[in-house]
Amino acid sequence: DTEGLLRIKEENQKHYRRAQRHQEKKEKIQRHNRKLGDLVEKKTYDLKTQYEHLAKLRRTHILELTSVIFPIEEVKTSMRDPADVSSESDNAMTSSTVSKLAEARRTTYLSGRWVCDDHNGDTSISITGPWIILPNNGDYSAYYSWVEEKKTTQGPDMEHNNPAHTISAALCYATQLVNTLSLILDVNLPKKLCNRQVKAQQGNHEFCGENLSRHRFTRAVKKLNANILHLCFSQHVNLDLLHPLHTLRNLMYLVSPDTENLGR
């Protein structure tokens, strides 16, 4: 029994010494982990600082781009409210009917509900100049109506101020701006839109070049609007300001200096 007790004591001493070595190793690992934690914290701070610096650079480039090359502005139109015109032409019309007409003109059915749209028709948005504008309400029917009319009309086109020309030019510039913004912001666009004029048989050019059919035109506009909304979402633009059909207005909100997260 005495010999067995001595053997147990020796084994216990070995286990104690081994436990001490394990404790030292544990403390060494803990010190190493603390050093790594401090290093990761410092690297995270440096990365955040670099992101902020990069965002400022992106923001500066975008504001310079949209002030020098692609200025986007709101243009007031001289259109009169249909309610006012109707009230002048029909003296018997009641004030309630006039107010209802005005209210109907300023509302839009969106996502299963009626929302107020104070910009519906009284303004337009210009890009690169006040003469290149898009209807604010997203109604581009003037383009494909003109294309369908050209199919039945022979002879050269002498109408340089035709709204279809300005619509095509504005959408072409908007596509070019969106593609450039995606490169600056490093955001991949969900829809592919080409802003270069290439050979017709390749079928890659959008809005510029040959006249598009109604189906191709509306499809290209939907793709452009989807890309603009995607960029707006990536930069945390206020969702209450956006409308899926307002092409240039959404773009104007995106590149506005008031957009706090522009460049993120």
Residue 240 lies in a domain: yes
pTM: 0.67
Count CA atoms within 13 Å of residue 62 on its CB side. Answer: 31
Give how far the C-alpha of residue 165 lies from the chain's centroid of Cα atoms, to the nearest Å: 25
Type of residue numbered 40: V
**pLDDT computed for residue 199 by the predictor:** 43
Residue 63 lies in a domain: no
Residue 215 lies in a domain: yes
Give the separation between CA 194 and CA 169, rounded to whole angstroms: 14
**pLDDT computed for residue 53 by the predictor:** 94
Residue 41 lies in a domain: no
Type of residue numbered 48: K
**pLDDT computed for residue 161 by the predictor:** 57
Mean pLDDT by 10 residues, the chain (264 residues): 92 92 93 94 94 93 92 72 46 60 56 49 79 82 76 58 80 92 93 63 57 83 94 93 90 90 88
**pLDDT computed for residue 211 by the predictor:** 72
Residue 211 lies in a domain: yes
Question: In total, how many domains does the chain have?
Answer: 1
Give the separation between CA 80 and CA 72, rounded to whole angstroms: 24
Residue 99 lies in a domain: no
Residue 110 lies in a domain: no
Positive or negative torsion for Cα 200, 204, 206, 212: positive
Residue 66 lies in a domain: no
Domain that holds residue 188: 137-255
Strands 107-110 and 133-135: what pairing?
A: unpaired
